């Protein structure tokens, strides 16, 4: 009986290393998803990220996070802590799945706002800001192409895509692009809500 018990104990001990998660390696990729944040902002984070040769992944608003050498759970905790430390999110939940293949999976960027097909889009080398917007079907009739916002490494930049040099601006994996609403629509909506709050009819103003 004692011999049987010792044999089982040895088998369980030998199995422990097999249950441990493999560390993330440089040159591979990880799939990152977030919960506990607004859906439109989750779309800026959710996606596949290449792990650089230096061992980092670059995320929206918080920049580079060390990924190589740790398992998926630890990387998830690091990302959560970075978003909390930057006071961007209070209680994000990050899930990380590592790519065990020998190749990088598709790199992505995100296009949102007033575009026809918002969401994560495949990144291609040399892609410009204008091309990125067009991968999302281009702007809707309410999209302000003169105030397109680019989110990168925690900073926000605004570009006028009627200008040639702005159209040709290079974008990179994990960038987030937002096409805002034209100012005219914002002003009309604000006036409508103001009249409704004051108890006035919007019919009298000739808006509907």
What domains are there in the chain, each with its CATH number? 29-98 (3.30.1950.10), 108-184 (3.10.560.10)
| pLDDT on residue 104 | 45
- The model's confidence at residue 49, banded by pLDDT at 50, 70 and 90, is confident
Residue 161 has pLDDT above 80, yes or no: yes
Residue 38 has pLDDT above 60, yes or no: yes
Residue 11 has pLDDT above 70, yes or no: no
Residue 133 has pLDDT above 90, yes or no: yes
Structure tokens at 12: 């369980």
Cβ 120 vs Cβ 46: under 8 Å: yes
- The model's confidence at residue 169, banded by pLDDT at 50, 70 and 90, is very high
Q: Is 34 exposed, middle or buried (0-12, 13-18, 19+ CB in 10 A)?
A: buried
| pLDDT on residue 148 | 97
d(CA 135, CA 175): 14
Lowest-confidence region among 96-100, 103-107, 128-132, 142-146? 103-107
Residue 176 has pLDDT above 90, yes or no: yes
pTM for this predicted structure: 0.46
Residue carrying structure tokens 């959710």: 46
pLDDT digits (tens, 9 = 90+) for 72-125: 999 999 999 999 999 999 999 999 988 655 444 567 899 999 999 999 888 877
d(CA 52, CA 192): 50
């Amino acid at each position: 009986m004692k011999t049987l018990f010792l044999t089982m104990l040895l088998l369980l001990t030998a199995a422990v290393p097999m249950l441990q998660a493999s560390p993330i390696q440089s040159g591979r990729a990880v799939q990152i998803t977030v919960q506990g944040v607004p859906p439109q902002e989750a779309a800026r984070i959710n996606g596949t990220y290449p792990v650089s040769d230096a061992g980092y992944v670059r995320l929206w608003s918080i920049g580079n996070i060390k990924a190589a050498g740790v398992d998926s759970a630890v990387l998830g905790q690091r990302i959560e802590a970075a978003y909390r430390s930057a006071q961007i999110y209070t209680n994000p939940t990050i899930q990380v799945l590592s790519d065990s293949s020998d190749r990088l999976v598709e790199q992505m960027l995100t296009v949102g706002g007033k575009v026809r097909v918002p969401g994560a889009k495949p990144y291609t080398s040399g892609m410009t800001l204008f091309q990125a917007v067009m991968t999302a079907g281009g702007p809707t009739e309410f999209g302000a192409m003169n105030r397109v916002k680019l989110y990168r490494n925690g900073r926000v930049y605004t570009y006028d895509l009627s200008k040639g040099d702005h159209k040709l601006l290079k974008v990179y994996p994990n960038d987030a692009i937002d096409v805002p609403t034209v100012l005219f629509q914002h002003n009309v909506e604000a006036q409508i809500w103001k009249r409704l709050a004051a108890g006035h009819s919007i019919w009298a103003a000739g808006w509907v």
